[in-house]
Structure 1
Amino acid sequence: MRLSLTRPALVTLALTAAATAGAQSQQAAQALFDEGKWQEAASSAAALNTGAGFALAAEATTAGAALSPDNQKKALFEKAQGYARQAIALDKNNADAYFELARAEGRLAQYSGILNSLNLAGDMRKNLDQALKLKPNMAGAYVALGLWHANLVAKGRAATFVTGARANQITPNFEKAIALEPGVAVHRIEYANALLLQGNKAGAAAQLQKAVSLPAETFWQKRDLEEAKARLASLQ
């Protein structure tokens, strides 16, 4: 006897199949990104038209800017910013989307005038706070907060007065990130960068020593490892 499916059952099967296909496509885009193929990854992820897809597209575009000519970087950060905003529009509870928006804003601040950069710093802090509200154990967001405080403190009293950045908040944020993800080299590399902004070369070297001892699997992790080795060599 042949069994027939009811319409609700058919709808459920269709939705399940679509969700499975979407997850596989997200994984495929992630795999492209892990291989360093950031442009293909961003295009594939954005084509999914999902919050997760646009967040990955933003991450890939921001990362890819580091490999691009200087005259293209600002436009890429703006593109990443747009992807992150699309992710938030589709899913207001996507912590990664708020984090990627904050990261793009932080990069854009480097290409802006003083007033606009301080405005971007304020937006960045709000988005990092929202990311952590949604995902309290997001190590990357604590790294970004540590850098946020370090960069603004380095800019001087006016920047800290406007933004509320504090020197005593740098180390706690990095320590939190490292406690959450002790095996991620980039957390220690960014901590070293923050320490260098404070003139602490010995502390930076110690963090880099630990970073170069950690494993690297993806294209980006291997790139981080080479950067850490080069930076460490310059400090010795």
Structure 2
Amino acid sequence: MRRILLAFGLALGLTALAQAEIGNLLEGGRYVEAYQLGQRLASAESLALAAKAASFYAMYQAKEGERAEWFQKAEAAASEAIKKDPDYPEGYFERARALGRLSQYKGILQALAEGVAPRIRSDLEKTLRLKPDHAGAMVALALWHFELVQKGWFVAATQGADGSKVEPLMRRAIELEPNVIIHRVEYAKVLAAWGKKEEARKQLEVALSLPAKTAADRYDQERARQELAKLR
């Protein structure tokens, strides 16, 4: 029995170390390696990290012609994470992220035709039921409402999108995670689109003042610089 317990403890320790390594690869911008390692480990946690890595590769590093493929890989990995653990919120969040970014890449109208919008909302709402203080899901849900409202009242009405929910969700996410750069960049996008340019500028300036701890942070700050230049 003691040997079994020791072996089990060793296996858990090695798994924890491997998952920490996925985190290190993500932070360093080595997204393909992070994806591959997450796939090999095949736990709910590692598969969700693999999905995150695939989405980040598609968002930040992939060539134009391969972005859709990597978002699809992210969706598949997240779906596998959900199968492994239906109560793990990150699985639903990462699937929503993958589908949402793929929709932005393809075009919102095409995504609507494919019936993707309700799936994204369902995954985000599931994330928030499992983890009510999930700031990333709040930002993503705010963007879901925003993108659909931007397509006009008919699209918004048929999908149940509500523009009045956008800013409260964004503000709550920033209240929970004030130092997360991407939250502020996404909020600035909304503010600029709605003609609140001075408020958008402030959010972008804060985003640029925050410490960039990861490769994704640095990519997001570059985006913030580009958006700020458009406002000047």
TM bucket normalised to smaller: over 0.9
What secondary structure is seen at the aligned counterpart in 2 of 1:89? helix
**2:77 aligned residue:** 83
Q: Distance in 2 between matches of 1:146 and 1:113?
A: 15
In the TM superposition, residue 73 of structure 1 has moved relative to its aligned partner by 1.0
Deviation per residue, 1:159-214 (Å, 9 max, x gap): 11111111110100001100100111111101011222323322211211111111
CA contact (8 A) 1:32 1:41 kept: yes
Q: Does 1:218 align with 2:214?
A: yes
**Aligned partner of 2:22 among 18, 29, 36:** 29
What secondary structure is seen at the aligned counterpart in 2 of 1:147? helix
In the TM superposition, residue 223 of structure 1 has moved relative to its aligned partner by 1.6
1:182-221 alignment, distance < 5 Å:
182-221=178-217
Q: TM-score, normalised by structure 2?
A: 0.94
Aligned residues: 229
Q: Does 1:106 align with 2:103?
A: no
Q: Does 1:12 align with 2:8?
A: no
**2:38 aligned residue:** 45
**2:63 aligned residue:** 69
**1:94 aligned residue:** 88
Q: Distance in 1 between matches of 2:195 and 2:54?
A: 31
Q: Does 1:141 align with 2:134?
A: no
1:132-171 alignment, distance < 5 Å:
132-171=128-167
5+ residue gaps, structure 1: 1-6
Q: TM-score, normalised by structure 1?
A: 0.93
User: Which stretches of structure 1, 4 residues or more, deviate above 6 A after TM superposition?
Assistant: none
RMSD across aligned positions (CA): 1.4
- With 194-203 and 10-19 compared, the bigger mean Cα shift is at 194-203
CA contact (8 A) 2:108 2:147 kept: no
CA contact (8 A) 1:85 1:97 kept: yes
**Aligned partner of 2:173 among 162, 166, 177:** 177
In the TM superposition, residue 115 of structure 1 has moved relative to its aligned partner by 5.8
What letter is aligned with 2:87?
A: N
CA contact (8 A) 1:151 1:194 kept: no
| Percent identity of paired positions between Structure 1 and Structure 2 | 37
What secondary structure is seen at the aligned counterpart in 1 of 2:209? coil
Q: Distance in 1 between matches of 2:192 and 2:224?
A: 13
CA separation of 1:154 and 1:113: change in aligned 2, threshold 3 A: closer
Q: Distance in 1 between matches of 2:221 and 2:34?
A: 22
What letter is aligned with 1:100?
A: E
In the TM superposition, residue 101 of structure 1 has moved relative to its aligned partner by 0.4
Q: Distance in 1 between matches of 2:51 and 2:140?
A: 16
In the TM superposition, residue 112 of structure 1 has moved relative to its aligned partner by 5.6
**2:53 aligned residue:** 60
What letter is aligned with 2:180?
A: V
Q: Which has the larger Rg?
A: 1
Q: Distance in 2 between matches of 1:152 and 1:116?
A: 11
